[in-house]
Each structure stands twice: as structure tokens, then as C-alpha cells.
Structure 1
Amino acid sequence: MSLQPSGYRPSVTGYVEKGGFNRDTAYIPDRITEDGRRPEHGNADVPLWPVEPGRYRLVASWACPWANRAIIVRSLLGLEDVISMGVCGPTHDMRSWTFDLDEGGKDPVLGIERLQQAYFARFPAYPKGITVPAMVEISTGEVVTNDFPWITHDFFHEWREFHSDDAPDLWPAHLREEMDEVNKRVYTEVNNGVYRCGFAGDQESYDAAYDRLWTAMDWLEERLTDRRYLMGDAITEADVRLYTTLARFDAVYHGHFKCNRQKLTEMPALWGYARDLYQSPGFGELTRFDQIKAHYYRVHTDINPTGVVPKGPDPDVWLEPHGRG
């Protein structure tokens, strides 16, 4: 029996209800923590797993903004040698993300063709959409968690013993209260706001979603006019969270999701900021525009029934000087 509501969209784990898009945020809540300790933040009753190098595999996709966030944070913190990574292809069917990029269509470490197999290994009747990113225990092949906000939070707070010496402080203690507020607004109004526009089921819902998105985009443009990064002079996780949406804006969201008041390239502060991040280590080299476009334009057949993927925009514009140093 499926617990998915009518109108459910497995590719984005959400559903359309009364014309508006609602994201399903009931993820697998388990946490991976230092020595399996009970963390001070988050749900106090979630199952805990201990931090252990080589025990877990991050399964992600270059195409998905939520997964791209995990890929970037893992790189920035220097966790590549302690948390391995499997990458799914950009397209999938209604059942699952698949390992199309690997030889034989199988993840070389987990030995599976579909991420769904890791979910079913632990939850045989798992009723929801199969999402990336996901942390999978290598020895059992079982999914541990797909709760993407906590995955990157715990990469920073719980895996600190294994960070590289030059890892950035992605969660500065003196900024955390303000950063929580910024992250919340970016998530609800921008990261998720573009999806509300793209999957709106009627004009009224679309118009409301469009207005909310652009109110937030104008706020970001103003905020970034007199500061280099969202929280000041240094990159934090807040920037990673915003970047993965901005990187997809002109290529996908502007046209495909009808977020077309302006292009990112027409917003001076935001466009300079986005290029600044793209040209920073850990961002541009982990952004795959071909994978991004293939995912959205081929998977969302209700929005783009032809499956035709646009050739533009030219990715070389991301290498133009940003002037924000």
C-alpha cells in the first residue's frame, strides 16, 4: 500500500494539492554523530549511528540541488577519503535514481543498479519517493538517512576530527542564530520557491509562488550588494545552500519553471556573487550543467513532454570576472 497522496511527484518528493506544490519533508531522520552521541540539535528521539571512516557512502547526483549541496560540503571539508561517494545518473524513472554513469549500470561499491535497493534493504515496503542525497552503510547496503539538511550539518559538526586542516568554518558560532534565519528564508522562498512556481497547478497558485520567489530574490540582491557572502566576508553553508539554486536558475528555473521576471545574469549583485562562488574551490568543478539540464528537461515530462534539452546558456559566462574580491 502506498502512503503517497494523489498528485505525488517522486522526482521531487512532493505533491500538488489545491493547485499548489507541497514538498514532502518526512525524510528518514537517522543521524550519524560522533561516537553515536545524542546531538543537542534536532529530534531527540532519532536513531543514531556512529561516525566511522569508510563505513558510509554518500549517494548523490550532480543534477539534484539538494544532493549537490552535500557533494560541495563534503569537498570543502576534505571528507572525500573518509566518506566515499556514488553518483547516480541525471535521469530516472518513477521507481528510483539509477547508476547509469557507472560501468554496467551498477555502483562499484554497493553493487546495486538502483538506489531503491538500498532503501528496500532496510525498509522493504518503503512508501515514499527515493531521494538523493542518501547516506548508505556499505557493509549492509542499507540506507541510513536521506535527511539532506542534517547530512551536511553533521558533516561539519560531527565529522570534525576528519576535516582537512584548511577546512572553512561553515557554521561560525557567533553567526548561527542569524544564519538559521537566513537559511530558513532561502529554503522556503528560493530553494523550494522555484519548485512552487514550476509545479503550480493553477494560475492563482503560480502567481502567488512567483511573487514570493521574487520578493526573496530582491531581498538577496539587496543583502549581497554590500557584503561578499551571505553572512559577511567568509563562505558558510548558507552560501552553499543558495548557490545550488542559483547555478540552476538561468539553465532551468527561468524557463522550465517559469521563474522569468529576470535572468540571474540580469541581477548585478546576485550574478557577481554566484560567479564568485563558482570560481571558488569546491563549487565550479562540482557543478555539471549538462547533468542538471538533462535531469529537469527529461524527467519532468508533464512540463516538457518532448524531452528536448536546450543547448544554452553558455557555461563560459560563469568564468567572467566577478569583481567581488
Structure 2
Amino acid sequence: MEQVPSQMTVIGFNKPGGPDVLQPETRAVPVPGPDEILIKVMAAGVNRPDVAQRQGHYPPPPGASDLPGLEVAGVVVAAGRNAKKHKLGDKVMSLVAGGGYAQYCIAQDAQAMAVPPSLTIQEAGALPETLMTVWHNVFERGALKAGETLLVHGGSSGIGTMAIQMAKGFGAKVIVTVGSRDKADACVKLGADHAINYRSEDFVEATKKATGGVGANVILDMVGGDYTDRNYDAAAVDGRIVQIAFLSGSPKATANFTKLMVKRLTHTGSTLRPRTNADKAAMVAAIEAKVMPLLREGRIRPLMDSSFPLEKASDAHRRMETSEHIGKIVLSL
């Protein structure tokens, strides 16, 4: 194994603000604790929560790195005394609580997964956050089953493109909402059964039409706002609506809760970052058992939008903020 240096380049910020606040810094390479591994980062995914953190809206949990970056892929170069799952030299991908925008990053041994040969290291760096978000929210909380219909808002996002593939992989029907023809085409190519352009169509009507009047059994919503009440209209009886973000800008909404009772709906939601290490390890174990076979067969892979060098993290954030991207943005080291 190569010698691990004492210093590394990271991307941090001194004050909240626009993409320009992201600047290279030099920091000490962290030392893994008993249950941790140190990953030499080869790719780090860029996600909406990174943008929110940079803007000052999404602080890291206590004890986590203050650097942005929630998922990485690379090589294990050091390990704590209790870390038995991965060994030095292994290629791994992992969700992390922060610190991904760096040459070296600490991960929980139990949360790291072996990179299957079907994926490039860039694809692996774009996978853990979306994989875990979709698995937990669509399948664990939303309990999507084969034969049911999933409606995904933001179908061309990193999470949306992963949700399409996973839902299809497990035998569900998928409807997505998108904002352009290009995004619609990309989602259908990935396997979506219907792509609704929310700028020109009413997604409630279109969802009803696509399901023969039944509605969607599970709705994955990252928009919120006035979508809340409309989701209740678009949902099937006994439908499950899972909230994972509020791209509308406000976490507040007005909705007619009578629909919730009449249709026996469930409206739930979650965030990943503050969950305990034990919770995240359990999600990883479930993904390794149920989803990894689909990844190994190449039936699921992240749709890649673009790659930027670490020093150009501000450009990666600008790309994300245009919302023109289709799929995942990564930093490549």
C-alpha cells in the first residue's frame, strides 16, 4: 500500500453563500476511529444537500466533518481496529456524514459497500446517497411492491433516475414528472412507463389517465408546496406519499386532509443524514442483499450527467443549480 500523507487538499467554505465560497484548503488527513475506514477518494457525488449546506441551511450532524460531500468511492488505505468488513486495498463506495469533498475521507466500515465490477469508480461515487435514499423511502417506508405504480417528482434528478431503475427492477410501473422534453426522453429511455411534463400537463390528470383512473400507489416527492394537496388527488386508495425534500422553497403547505381519510393515505418522510450509524448499516445490509445483484448484473447504474475536478467544485454546484442536469454530477480526483 502507498504511504498515506499527513496533509490533503479539501474543498471547504468559510461563510455561507453562492458557489464561489467553495475554495480549496489544506487540512490534516483524518485518522479512522475503531469502527471506521479511511478512503482515498477517487470520486465524490454532488447532491442537493451539499448545495443547501453551502447556503447555510443544512448543518452537519454533531461529530461529522464540516466539509460538504455525502458519498464517495475509492480505495481503503487505513482501517480502525474493529473494521473487519473491508481490508486495505479494497475498492469501496460509501455514504458519509460529511467530508466527501476531499482527497481522503472517513467512512463507517459497516456503511461502505464493495464496488461491483459492473461500475466505473465515477459511477460508484455517484451511487450511495441515491441508492440509500431510494431504497429507504420507496421500498422501506413506501413499501412499493411489484405490480404497483410509483410516481416520482423530479424524475431526471439523481434520485429520480435511480428510483426509475430500482422500481422497474422490482417489477413496478413508473410515472415521472419532468420539466423538459429532453428530460422526459431520458427517463423513458431508463425505463419509465410515462413521463409527464409538468410545465404543459397536469400531473394529477395524467397520472389518473396512465393508471386507468386508479392513481399512484407510492409517490416520491421532493417538491412539496402545492404538490402536497395534488399528491393526495393523484394517489390511489391506500396510497403512500413519501416526502424527501422541499424544492418549492417552503416546508409548509395547505392541503385538504379529508382526502387523507377517505383514501386511507399515508404521508411520511425522512432525511438520511441525521440517522444513526446502526440505522444506516441496516439499510446497507438490506441493499447488499436485495439491490446489489441488480447492480452486479448491470441492470441498475447511475445515470451520469457530468464530472468536474475537485478544485472545480463551485462549477459542479453551478451546474446543479441550473437544474439542467440529467442524472448525477460527480467530482473526480
- The question of a shared fold, defined as TM-score above 0.5 by the shorter chain, is answered with no
Question: What is the TM-score with the length of structure 1 in the denominator?
Answer: 0.27
Kindly indicate which of the two structures has a greater share of residues assigned to helix.
1
